[in-house]
A and B are shown apart, each in its own frame.
Chain A
């Protein structure tokens, strides 16, 4: 009698642990289920652009993952795309770090975008090895909210990107990495890959890859009206 009861209980327990394991597995961010598509969590960080949020699976920039931005020239509004999210992070009291920015980040413009300048840190490590170490430390630390990095002279290897992606997941940090368009053909471990282009009036964003979401869509974001307003020529 008691043996039979035991058996029954054991069976229930085994079932229970199986279910638990399944649930753990499904909770992983890299498993995408079509059934979940409608009711999934909005755990992303608001990008500040409603149309972009709608395309992203987390309704915002993915937290704890690398976002790769493929771009060939500057001046098309690529930083303005990130500024609202970075500004929000600094307002929350977290640090934002720029690693190897190609030019001087201009304080008045950043302050106008709402960034708390005392939370912004610039890093200029001497070599790629040092830069990689610093980025990994910052991403892991858990106190850095957003990290924006630019690829140095050497192309970023797949292994390095994977390290950064893992570090970003550990620290639950937003990571944006700028790479040239030539890297678009090679596969990448990044959670989100965006290809940026533009004609001056608007910024074109093309989703190349998205973990747990659809890819391939294209989006046009208009630039600030203040900038593209055309005055009557003087001459």
Chain B
């Protein structure tokens, strides 16, 4: 077993500020009147973890204070677990502790990487890739490698070990680990402050000293739990970890410390979320038909819009372009405080459905799907429609509006095809029959019209109350136009129903 522990010491700050560009303004996260974490400009001016709010403000007057948001941190950690899951199936998380709880611990992620070394080209490339992707997400990690999760966690706090990890090519041997562990100072042990104080009082400064004492003696002094922990650290006992199971959905969220009031500014964070989504989807071989975006206006409510994708697509650039078209349509009434992207109903990608083919770059159907996606994104669903035949006697019910996105995807002809009626029918149908004027025995529509052919009797729905019985004629107007007119047999009124165009 080879466990990698990634600690996120600055997660409480980064979860709130990673959406923005590097800012020169000092910022700090506060919980219960204490500074939890400060960014670089603030640290340079002496603001550090554990300071009281008053002291920090005295040191740095223009300090921007952000309230710590544990829920957001937890969500971010879950998302990181999902990210880790794309490397290895054995992932475990540990949430951060609060300031008041004893033993100030950071949120961390455990990955069992012995199974994925080969696929990623060895230890060094894997670690480099992990670091690079975390940098892209703007999250700073501390990494440690160990034969058990407890050991990995302890070693991630040891600067010498981290330094070694930067350069190493191969995982160390068991002896090397023992050496690392015995070399570590006792304060790195994952136990409460009281126990550590007791250890130092006994003169045990390094773990090697602790391991030299017989275990029963240690048990007498520090309790069974501590002995158990030591055994797990040593590798002489199993170190069980709750295993993370990813949900079949994606949720990403970015928070803006200073709210954005321009939809163009939203493009940059939206692009970041889309890239994270595409990475996840590609690794898990899933796709989504719909990206649901949510603009959070804080107390003023929120706005939701969605981007529909007609075909599986994992290209972030195209998804960003579609999102951009939607964002352009939106006018922000209130400044946006957070942007989130949700994709539920992720579907498995099948071999023949993927958009990008290795050999032929773009074919006709792909391009038409891209065009339709673009049109839907900018004009909205309601502006696009198709038409189909319907089986009905009544002319106005012999056609139906169809959803274009559905009709584009089935290529093979279905077994049963509707056949249109074999009679001269007009190209244009009026949305609603237009009543014709009648003076003497003559009909008028922009001048007098004369009947050429007819009648063709259409008598539909005689079994219902609203019986339609009509005599249809082809008529010619004064100006040469050919019209489709009918006489309603009930009321004997004349109507224009279509134009032979």
Contact = CB atoms under 8 A, between A and B. Distances in A.
B56 to A, nearest CB: 52
Contacts of A120: 386-387
Contact of B452 (A101, A117, A228, A235): A228
Interface residues of A, number: 59
SS of B interface (majority): mixed
Contacts of A234: 455
Interface string A105-143: 111111111000110111111100010011001100111
A68 interface: no
B491 interface: no
A107 B375 contact: no
A112 B375 contact: no
Contact of B368 (A78, A141, A224, A229): A141
A164 to B, nearest CB: 16
A229 B453 contact: yes
Contacts of A125: 379, 383
Nearest to B372: A121
Nearest to A72: B479
A69 to B, nearest CB: 12
Contacts of A142: 367
Contacts of B11: none
A133 B375 CA distance: 9
Interface magnitude class on chain B = 35 or more
B425 A118 contact: no
B425 A112 contact: yes
Contact of B431 (A103, A112, A118, A198): A103
A187 interface: no
Interface string B432-449: 000000000100001000
Contacts of B455: 234
Contacts of A5: none
Interface of B: 364-365, 367-368, 370-372, 374-375, 378-379, 382-390, 395, 398-400, 402, 404, 407-408, 410, 420-422, 424-431, 441, 446, 451-455, 474, 476-477, 479-483, 498-501
Interface of A: 73-80, 83, 93-95, 101-113, 117-118, 120-126, 130, 133-134, 137-138, 141-144, 197-201, 223-224, 226-231, 233-235
8 contacts: A77-B501, A107-B398, A112-B420, A118-B402, A123-B384, A124-B382, A141-B368, A224-B424
